[in-house]
A and B are shown apart, each in its own frame.
Chain A
Amino acid sequence: SQQGEEDPQALSIQEGENATMNCSYKTSINNLQWYRQNSGRGLVHLILIRSNEREKHSGRLRVTLDTSKKSSSLLITASRAADTASYFCATERGTYKYIFGTGTRLKVLA
């Protein structure tokens, strides 16, 4: 399969709660990236984590990477209604070429 797997496929939480999404991949990577996609729009880059990094923060986002388990997680703290979107992980498959995971559809209820 071209893609990695993400879980859950869909997640619904209340505003203010934390949201955690997981991504698993199959081959060795140099880095892994997380993107957000609002409905019917293009993707927005959120964060990149390299294979020699274990954790990275950006505002309310926290990304972890476990290369031994070939998995990554994205944590959004204190979620807001505006965080409602689909979230994708992407792993490198060649020079600047990335393959996207199946995605998690997050819905944050006000």
Chain B
Amino acid sequence: GAVVSQHPSWVICKSGTSVKIECRSLDFQATTMFWYRQFPKQSLMLMATSNEGSKATYEQGVEKDKFLINHASLTLSTLTVTSAHPEDSSFYICSASSGGREGISEETQYFGPGTRLLVL
């Protein structure tokens, strides 16, 4: 149980285009989803926290107009990188928390496999 998927797993796009990444909790309802960014051989940097039906909370230094987050349902959150540029190339990972429901530990985050974005 507690599986999280991400789609696509990798994407290559031209500079100036927008890219949407989906994060789905497959077998539980995620009250909260998190989006992280990871550069090679570095740690995960939290970008934003999204709760179903409300606006995302962005970490300091993360442009909310650049990285649009929509948490439309309890099983789906999307991250859209708008007008992508080469410096946006990175590994984007989402995670989901059940908030203690469905017998799943409220404190454990379940991670998706990540999406590798390359902007040319």
Which residues of A are interface residues toward B (Cβ below 8 A)?
2-3, 31, 33, 35, 40-45, 48, 88, 90, 92, 94-103, 105
Contact = CB atoms under 8 A, between A and B. Distances in A.
Contacts of A99: 46
Interface of B: 4, 6, 32, 34, 36, 41-46, 49, 59, 91, 93, 95, 97, 99, 105-114, 116
27 contacts: A31-B107, A33-B107, A35-B111, A40-B91, A41-B113, A42-B4, A43-B93, A44-B111, A45-B108, A45-B110, A45-B111, A48-B108, A88-B43, A88-B44, A90-B109, A92-B107, A95-B32, A96-B32, A96-B97, A96-B109, A97-B46, A97-B49, A99-B46, A100-B36, A100-B46, A103-B42, A105-B41
Nearest to B5: A42
A60 to B, nearest CB: 20
B112 A42 contact: yes
A31 B108 CA distance: 10
Contacts of A94: 49
A33 B108 contact: yes
Given A40-B91, A88-B43, A98 B109 contact: yes
